[in-house]
Amino acid sequence: MKKYFFAAVAILLAFDVAVPIHANADCFSQRMAMDTLRKDDIDPVCKMKVKAGITRTHVHYKTVYGFCSEGCKKSFVKQPEKYLKK
């Protein structure tokens, strides 16, 4: 009887560990998809062209913005409204 009990506990523990890992992997892939610029766009800070596929992005109110440099990205993150009003 103890064998079955420990086997059942082992299966439940293995399942409990496997589910969050899979869920996190799915969440990670969705996050990567959101953090990649899907089409060519304009950097909202310096107005330079940015190409599709870059990962130097920031999501603001469910919109993905792409940036030409980390400096532009940092400026935008500090004050997004300043650059979106233009």
Where in the chain are the domains? 1-34, 37-86
pLDDT tens, position by position, 15-70: 555 444 444 444 444 454 567 889 999 999 999 999 999 999 999 998 999 999 99
Q: For residue 70, how many other CB atoms are within 10 A of its CB? A: 9
20-36 b/e with 16+ CB inside 10 Å = b? Answer: eeeeeeeeeeeeeeeee
Answering whether pTM is above 0.85, one says no
What the block records as the tokens of 71 is 């400096």
For residues 67 and 58, the answer to whether their CB atoms sit within 8 Å is yes
Alpha-carbon distance 81 to 86, whole Å?
A: 9
